[in-house]
Amino acid sequence: MSQNSLAAFVAKTAEEYGLPGAAVGVWAAGQETYACHGVTSVDHALPVDERTLFLLGSVSKTYTATALMRLAASGRVDLDAPVRRYVPELTLPDEQAAAEITVFQLLNHTAGLDWRMAVDTGEGDDALAAYVAHMADSELIAQPGTRASYSQIGYNLAGRIIEKVTGQTYEQAIATLLFEPLGLEHTAFSVDDVMTRRFAVGHNVGHDGEPAVVRRWKDSRANNPGGGAAASVADLLRWARFHLGDGRTQDGTALLPAEAVQRMRQESVELRGSTLGDAFGVCWFLREVEGVRTAGHGGSANGQFAELLIAPAHDLAVVVLSNAGPDTGLAFNQAALRWALEHHLGVVEQAPEPLPYDQARAHEVVGGYENELMKLTIATDGTKLTIACDIKPEIRAAADTELPPDLPPADLGLLPGDADEYLVTSGGLAGQRGFFTRDDDGTITGADLAGRLFTRTPADR
């Protein structure tokens, strides 16, 4: 693939989606190729280049997981040990669960912890410690080890383990364990570090239908292990290449045993009905796309999206960064991944075909579903199903900064088979798959979307 063909695709597609800015990097056939487009901000425009920092959102979890794997390889952490060996103060409403959750269960999202907590514990060095203290009020969504459910809480707790074991702040530890030996000079967590460089700000669609700058740039410090890093496209591709390899840095220094790198890409728990993957490894979402095995992770921030995908058997890595909201940024990123897989590996993924509308099945799933921060509303007009995704009004009302916009109702179709799976077919979440959970009596009690469990509200059961 020539640089010109990637650049032409990025320019054309970014213009079609109306993105303020984007950066794409590809490692293929032993060569790095980059294409950058647009500006860092519609209000104070600077051209996006290979060194422009974008927020990575949950792609940050790959650093947390890799750091713990490095600590495990050196004997400082036992992945199968209870978290309380390292964080003895961990308290949950369920005491037995608090005693049983293991480090590994945090890394493959089987600890039974909810998605997020609506707490801000400040920007001090005690932010993660205070965050863990708030977990005393966070109810489990399942018993440890019984199911996978994507958890920001779990990764922030993993970050606290890193602090306790190393005696450093999480950010200092990640710099020492990963950023410095890998030469990731354009990857950072601190706003003070980022603001001295060229960086992208987030955008959501404004009242006039045009991209508008959002006014909260990143989440609170306690969310750094699960989603607080910022990086350039060049640094993120360097990080992806490390995970394609055998655990050595580009100068040949052994940083992580090859078997640890490989273990991260081995299935540890199956994922059901998820667009994100067929299974979790250690942090990675694992997928097989038309016979090609991939490992990847996506991330979202307020008005920014990131994607990292590797296909180890083909020595391919793709990273995509954009500074637009879910209606355009996510769609662009997914289009870029599809383009790279098709152009380099000849892979074209076919989306499943939903069933025709069935009134009886539709009424069975209609209702509200929620987690601590968000609510899904599945509705029908008698001819089709729709799904809306909203931040809870009380969370929005209590926020002292701008939050991402709610997603308006989008079309939803039920999929064939007896797995209670569904597919979003329009809107910002188009292409996302999920499934419904039933109790022993067959009553639907929850809906999973993007790897997260939303529990059905009692009034809708």
Q: Which residues are catalytic?
A: 58
* Polymer length in residues for the chain: 461
How distant is the alpha carbon of residue 269 from its chain centre? 17
Convert 219-258 into a string of H (helix), E (strand) and C (coil).
CCHHHHHHHCCEEEHHHHHHHHHHHHCCCECCCCCECCCH
Distance CA 19, CA 42 (A): 10
Angle between helical axes of 61-73 and 233-244 (0-180°, round to 10): 40
CB contact set of 219 (below 8 Å; sequence gap of 6+)? 227, 228, 301, 302
Asked whether the beta carbons of 214 and 54 are under 8 A apart, the reply is no
Q: What is the DSSP string of 112-170?
A: ---S-------SSTTHHHHHHHHGGG---SS-TTS-----HHHHHHHHHHHHHHHSS-H
What secondary structure letter does DSSP report for 110?
Answer: -
Q: What are phi and psi of 37, to 5 degrees?
A: -145, 145
Q: What are phi and psi of 307, to 5 degrees?
A: -140, 140
Of 256, 314, 213, nearest to 63 by C-alpha is 256
- Taking 3-state DSSP, the helix, strand and coil percentages for the chain, each rounded to the nearest 5, stand at 35, 25, 40
The continuous run of DSSP H or E covering 360 comes out as helix 359-365
Distances (CA, A) of 146 to 109, 140, 149, 213: 10, 12, 10, 41
Q: Are strands 367-370 and 292-301 parallel, antiparallel or unpaired?
A: unpaired
Asked whether the beta carbons of 64 and 72 are under 8 A apart, the reply is no
